[in-house]
Structure 1
Amino acid sequence: MPIIPPDTGLTPTTSFERLLRIMDDLRTNCPWDMKQTMESLRHLTIEETYELSDSILSGDMQEIKKELGDIMLHLVFYARIGSETNDFNITDVLNGICDKLITRHPHIYSDTEVNNEEDVKRNWEKIKLKEGNKSVLGGVPASLPALVKASRIQEKARGIGFDWERKEQVWEKVEEEMQEFRAEFNVENEGDINREKAEGEFGDLLFSLINYARFININPEDALEKTNRKFIKRFQHLETRAHESGKKLQDMTLAEMDVFWNEAKKL
């Protein structure tokens, strides 16, 4: 079988057609590709999405380019499988998203007027309800990680005007939830606690913090992931220094570990 040459014209159209032809070849001739289903690809697509997220956080443009290609392959793969069952094909997919974008941007493709980004978001949610969504929150996937889901819920509620007016109000809510959590899980109280209720109060506290982060334009998922990476880097420095000193972490005192930890904070 002849190898499909690269796009010498360097146009999006011919490059995309090349990918479609390669996908057809793989689906017809490769034992692994022939065996795949939407269900078998699902977890791989999720993995590829996280790899793209990692490369974005690392600021590695070459990795971002590579991961975008991997995800593009998955999208084409799903469309190819859909065409085999006559449910949809890649043309249906592309026209579907084009039609949706045109419908949901009446300020571009019709006579609707907007003043700012918030107007655009509100129009978007109103249009979705007209399209048949029974709830503004209906479009939030149930399987989203809780932190991301909380952000999306709050953004969608804001889109129809259900929101605090000022960030000071949100911070007051954070402090209120902190006090309620402290009342349920007081570290100074050695008695038994109602863990179910304490868990509920802790969830309320996290939700209010995520809400405040939105008001000051901080993505809580990105913020937490950067802290995770910072902790990993410092902890691995601690492990390295302990090994160089001929010590095992489990045998060191907290004060001894703090010496190396503070070194890591200066790096």
Structure 2
Amino acid sequence: MSVAVDRLVEVVRLLREHCLWTAALTHASLVEYLVEESYELVEAIEDGQPDEELRGELADVLLQVVLHSEIARERGAFDLDAVAEALTAKMVRRNRHVFTADGGLQPSFPATVEEIIASWDAAKREERLERAAAAERDDVLPALAAAEGALEGLPRHLPALALADKALGRAERRRALDAGEPAAAGGTTGAIPAGVGEFASEDELGELLLDVVRAARDRGLDPERALRAAVRRLAV
């Protein structure tokens, strides 16, 4: 690691040793801070805040990673180096359109985003099959088969709209894979289903979504819960 990162790890380690508040932190108690810092980073990006602000928000998110890694190191599980190594291995393994198995560069690279998506999805599928073969347990295989659905690998606490968008994207890519077609980088046709208001921009879409939420409130319905339930039905 760089000198700056080494110093950061050292500072966090000293805080864990000599600061009662920091020493009391656990993986569970840090969750609220991780969520808060992540949303502050999103806000900085979406608001186009100056680079100094963006750097600060990235630093706050990095602190969460370092704290979790230090807590894990203290109980003999792993440290920040191991986290970085795991991420590097994953990036090489998942991005085989760029890297060879030993981490070198491929002799050529895909010319389209569709090819990249297909390669990424194929790599993830192979990982799941390898885990199933390694497990060699009857109780594991059904769970992995169920995970092939649109919600596979998606955090269940994602906001409903983000969850729906990602689930639909995975479902579309899976249909394309089953049909032997290239995976689309975005949606499918872009056609607006019957009964859905017209929109041609994100501003117009935002107003439409706001109208739907307003109508749901008027009827005493929970739009977040309703959309989550619809996504779960999609995944069945």
Q: State the TM-score bracket (shorter-chain normalisation).
A: 0.5 to 0.7
Match of 1:237 in 2: none
Counterpart of 1:147, as a letter, is: L
Match of 1:101 in 2: 91
CA contact (8 A) 1:83 1:89 kept: yes
Q: Percent same amino acid among aligned pairs?
A: 24
**Which structure has the larger Rg over C-alpha atoms?**
1
Q: Secondary structure at the match of 1:107?
A: coil
Match of 1:143 among 157, 163, 169: 157
CA contact (8 A) 2:38 2:61 kept: yes
Q: Distance in 2 between matches of 1:195 and 1:177?
A: 21
Say whether 1:126 aligns with 2:113. Answer: no
Query: Any residues of structure 2 matched to 1:204-243 within 5 Å, and which?
Result: none
Moved runs in structure 1, 4+ residues, more than 3 A? 162-165
1:5-31 alpha-carbon deviations (Å, 9 max, x no partner)? xxxxxxx71111110110110011111
* Shift in Å, 1:155: 2.4
Q: Distance in 1 between matches of 2:45 and 2:20?
A: 33
Counterpart of 2:155, as a letter, is: P
Say whether 1:153 aligns with 2:167. Answer: yes
Q: Distance in 1 between matches of 2:97 and 2:44?
A: 34
RMSD over aligned Cα, in angstroms? Answer: 3.1
CA contact (8 A) 1:125 1:156 kept: no
Aligned length: 175
Query: Any residues of structure 2 matched to 1:162-241 within 5 Å, and which?
Result: 165-167=188-190, 170-171=191-192, 173=193, 175-177=194-196, 203=227
Match of 1:62 in 2: 52
* Shift in Å, 1:195: 8.1
List gaps (5 residues or longer) in structure 2: 101-105, 129-143, 178-183, 198-218, 232-236
Match of 1:38 in 2: 27
Counterpart of 2:189, as a letter, is: R
TM-score w.r.t. structure 1 length?
0.58
CA contact (8 A) 1:118 1:159 kept: no
* Shift in Å, 1:203: 5.0
Q: Distance in 2 between matches of 1:15 and 1:80?
A: 16
* Shift in Å, 1:165: 4.3
1:21-49 alpha-carbon deviations (Å, 9 max, x no partner)? 10110011111100000000001110001
1:89-136 alpha-carbon deviations (Å, 9 max, x no partner)? 111110000000001111211258523112212221221121116325
| Higher relative contact order (CA closer than 8 Å, sequence separation 6+) | 2
TM-score w.r.t. structure 2 length?
0.65
List gaps (5 residues or longer) in structure 1: 1-11, 179-193, 208-267
